[in-house]
Structure 1
């Protein structure tokens, strides 16, 4: 614990099993990286202990950054190497590559529950129908799972009618509820000879420091529509807890000598977008509208956090590593107040590629596409198993949550603990 700079490991949190297929390691230990140690000390002074818990009971706090790299073999762990490769050796599994799913084939019609009887695919220019003996499992990601559903006749009736796609199941929620994290970087000059290390080195998850400030921000926000209220209330309730974070901050090296980058990332955005097909041609990409910052609360919360981030290079132990009055990249981009922070975010914020939510696991009348067993509403045997089923985005990188969905889905498919 001393080598890692850890203050505590909560007794209520069970450690990750060393026998799990996805191993993780700590690439930046306080003992080996003085900047990581200084980072921990800065956040300790703010009142946040450093924890090594992989699944803490609260999101707010300083973290020992973990990477999906086996600490013994030094090899990256992935679903392909740890799940796909072993499964590929099974005699009851056939993997077909260079194939495009054209649509899911259904029998029966609404309002009775329809049965997914298979899929139509294109392989080397030829069209084939593959029949399902039991069920069809769709796992194409936040953009393409919604796309395949709409191509198959599951979606908003007018949209499908305008594209000459026969309606099978009416559900206007397909392709809606798109969520993603937005992040923004600030790059600062280091003192001569300071080394950061490759990749992300340190991580902290923070609420707004001034609780009165946060309440005022929410109280002054524009009213939400009736359709947005349930989602808004859920995220607002999380942010109202002082133990829950509204952002993640991190330190990393982006390849520029003598510079280190500090980043801030949303934890749960209020803004939601959509992803929908534009034609009945499966080769056409969907139209993605992320609607970043469409809810002004996201920009306001990020602006407050960016102001905190801006002060880190001159704060406590970290100030020993950053050059006083050093250069910033981009140049001439000082973030000094809320207005300059908002402007910088509008011009420099980028996606984190954590897209999810377009086939949400919610009650149908609340915006849902799948039920708690991941079965698409209106069908008997079509499941969606990927990040598109998230009703609300996880507060940080969603990788482990995606694995959890897959593990739970495997149990449901096998009938274990259903």
Structure 2
């Protein structure tokens, strides 16, 4: 028996009288199976049952009185592929991901790319690689700087919520000692139902590769991944340490909740936010598999509608509801209720490039290769996993990485920073970009120009797995901005038009070239890697000049690490913002956005932990009815 409320069937809401008669029974039920059991209204209707939506719903219903309905597009299931830890990508089954392709990328030889986000209760936290990483202090201070120097959207303003968001469990003492792991529990909490824990095994090669960064100047080694400092460090993974299974929004914020005021409906697609003038009053939704927009259910929100549908779908729903850039809505024949130019603009994601280095003499055994090449080791690994869920199969995607500032990786940092500052920034946006959006982009570029020239923002990500090869380099702060808009040919279709506008700012090529050159420096100009007998497999030594690198990047770049953000940016309205510091949608009442789309700029790390922190902070903002500062101070 489930102890939370699940509505499994959507139909047209009956008359008010019938609904009121059913309300009492709905509150005492465990599983709601008929739409007639829907309450006549909820205090809050949350659109999206993912990382942010379930976190906010959990916190708002803690009092046992506040009624919340969560509406999720995907199914409410937990298949074994999602539970699994080994490999980290088990949850990325096509059945639990939205089927979206970007428009052809004109700067990537007209290639399209998959736009991946979780389509399941738990959202992207159910399908990600389980990497529990934060950005740096400067990443979060940058957000508040777009408002004022005293904004509570800052490292100090978010740190209490990073602590609240995750339950940190230290690594086993023997593993920590052998791998030379460091951690600092002061940056973590112990009360959340979402866990940050560690595998029971580490490959010695991981430590060896980490230590090799000491052979290059300027590299720091923070004592904990949660410290907000760039450098080379160990980080935990989203894992329940007892079950040795994925820990995510569903397990932490929905399962085992004994609250009759917390309802969820899965397999349901929200088609529109209902507005009385500019005040949000509820939503309409249809079964997710329905092709008819007429088979709608209406749900009333007496206090607020909270959009938590993510960086791709939150702007889409706003635009379908008449909130967004007027010219885009007009082209789609949607009546404009609030002309808000920033909705769907400012789209960002972390671009990735392959860079494969093969180590023929990395003297560290066993290694991940032995899982495939050493039958004795592989048999042992399978046996200890079956017996007590320990050993190499408890590793997700590696627990160590380098996150380095730009001056550390490039001697040209000052020059590149000056070049970015001197740009005519609006020239790298679509020609018809609203002046407010252009102003916001210019403000972001000025902030990133400063970051390029400093040591407090990580631009380079190199994931360390301890094997005989390495493979992926990530640009943590791309300069190009894309769009997520309704398709004017089919505005009410299931998916919006997604355009990464990859490499639209040509300085992204410059920065990624420097990132790759640093990877070469690490492998070939480093006294601590000299004995590894490294071979560069991809892109290969024929790539040398700036022109060579540009051609390689154009041919090979993936514009997405599946971290879509920015499309409902938390910035001043005059800078193209969509929500204010209380996450309220400009020009409306009783409508907020709480998800990755509110991030004005990307953090230098995987976005999941940051989304949890945003949701925790948002829940306190909503419950307090006050500004952000007082509550965060109490929690600190």
- TMscore range, shorter length: 0.7 to 0.9
Equivalent residue runs for 1:66-77 within 5 Å: 66-77=236-247
Confirm or deny: 8 A CA contact 2:187 2:227 kept in the other structure: no
Match of 1:35 among 205, 223, 234: 205
Q: 1:106 aligns with which of 260, 275, 293?
A: 275
How far is 1:387 from its partner? 0.4
CA distance in 2, matches of 1:369, 1:383: 10
Offset of 1:142 from its aligned partner?
0.7
Cα distance in 2 between the residues matched to 1:34 and 1:239: 33
Q: 1:327 to 1:401 in 2, by over 3 A?
A: closer
Match of 1:200 in 2: 398
Superposition map of 1:220-239 within 5 A: 220-221=419-420, 222-225=423-426, 227=439, 228-239=441-452
User: What is the aligned partner in structure 1 of residue 332 from structure 2?
Assistant: 163
Q: Deviations over 1:38-82 (max 9, x none)?
A: 222221232434334232242x21111321123343221101111
Greater mean deviation of Cα atoms: 216-225 or 266-275 = 216-225
Distance 1:165 1:407, change over 3 A: same
Structure 2 counterpart SS, 1:55: helix
Q: Which residue of 2 aligns with 1:248?
A: 461
Cα distance in 2, alignment partners of residues 205 and 185 from structure 1? 17
> Cα deviation per residue 1:6-42 (whole Å; 9 max; x = unaligned)?
5x667xx83312333222234497xx42221222222
Between the aligned partners of 2:404 and 2:530, the Cα distance in structure 1 is: 20
Task: Work out whether residues 350 and 474 of structure 2, in 8 Å CA contact, stay in contact via their aligned partners in 1.
Answer: yes
Are residues 168 and 200 of structure 1, via their aligned partners in 2, closer, same or farther at CA, if it must alter by over 3 Å? same
2:279 maps to 115
* Alpha-carbon shift at residue 380 of structure 1 (Å): 1.3
Partner of 1:111 in structure 2?
none
Equivalent in 363, 371, 378 of residue 572 of structure 2? 363
Shift of 1:134: 1.2
Deviation at 1:144, TM superposition (A): 0.7
User: Could you tell me which residue of structure 1 aligns to residue 301 of structure 2?
Assistant: 132
* Distance change in 2, residues 1:54/1:242 (3 Å): closer
The equivalent residue for 2:418 is 219
- 5+ residue gaps, structure 1, are 109-113
Deviates more, 1:392-401 or 1:145-154: 392-401
Instruction: For 2:190 and 2:529, locate their aligned partners in 1 and report how far apart those are by CA, in whole Å.
Output: 34
Between 1 and 2, higher relative CO (CA 8 Å, sep ≥ 6) is seen in 2
The aligned residue for residue 181 of structure 1 is: 350
| Per-residue deviation, residues 336-378 of structure 1 (Å, max 9, x unmatched) | 3443333322222212011100001111111111111111111
How many angstroms does 1:210 deviate by? 6.2
Residue 180 of structure 2 is matched in structure 1 by 5
Q: Please give the TM-score of this superposition, normalised by the length of structure 1.
A: 0.87
For the pair 1:17 / 2:226, whether they are aligned, the reply is no
- CA distance 1:189–1:160, shift in 2 (3 Å): same
Secondary structure of 2:187's match? coil
- Contact 2:270–2:317 (Cα < 8 Å) also in 1: yes
Q: Distance in 2 between matches of 1:270 and 1:365?
A: 20
Query: Offset of 1:90 from its aligned partner?
Result: 2.0
State the secondary structure of the residue aligned to 1:135.
strand
CA contact (8 A) 2:417 2:453 kept: no
Structure 1 residue 311, shift from structure 2 partner: 3.8
Give the number of the structure whose residues are more often helix, by fraction.
2
Q: What is the Cα deviation at residue 103 of structure 1?
A: 0.6
Selected match of 2:317 from 139, 142, 148: 148
SS at match of 1:66: coil
* Farther-moved stretch of structure 1 (72-81 vs 335-344): 335-344
Displacement of 1:239 in angstroms is 2.3
Change (3 A) 1:259 1:3: closer
- The 1-side partners of 2:521 and 2:545 are apart by 12
Query: Does residue 290 of the first structure (1) align with residue 489 of the second (2)?
Result: no
Alpha-carbon deviation of 1:139? Answer: 0.9
| Number of equivalent positions | 399
Q: Matches of 1:132 and 1:235 in 2, distance apart? A: 40
Contact map agreement 1:307 1:337 (CA 8 A) in 2: no
The two structures, once aligned, show a CA RMSD in angstroms of 2.6
TM-score, structure 2 as length reference: 0.58
State the 1:2 CA deviation: 4.2
Shift of 1:316: 3.8
For 2:567 and 2:355, the matched residues in 1 are separated by 31
5+ residue gaps in structure 2? 1-175, 369-391, 427-437, 628-636
> Could you say if the C-alpha distance between residues 77 and 210 of structure 1 is closer, same or farther in structure 2, counting changes exceeding 3 Å?
closer
Alpha-carbon shift at residue 132 of structure 1 (Å): 1.2
Aligned to 1:305: 515
Decide which of 249, 259, 262 is 1:79's aligned counterpart. Answer: 249
TM-aligned CA deviation for residue 135 of structure 1: 0.9
The equivalent of 1:393 in structure 2 is 602
Q: Give the secondary-structure state (helix, strand or coil) at the position aligned to 1:14.
A: helix
Within the candidate set 177, 198, 219, 1:48 is matched to 219
Aligned partner of 2:587 in structure 1 is 378
Aligned 8 A contact 1:4 1:64 in 2: no
Deviations 1:248-278 (A, max 9, x none): 111348xxxx852232211211111110001
State how far apart, in whole Å, the 1-side matches of 2:328 and 2:191 are.
Answer: 48
Task: Say which is worse superposed, 148-157 or 41-50, in terms of deviation.
Answer: 41-50
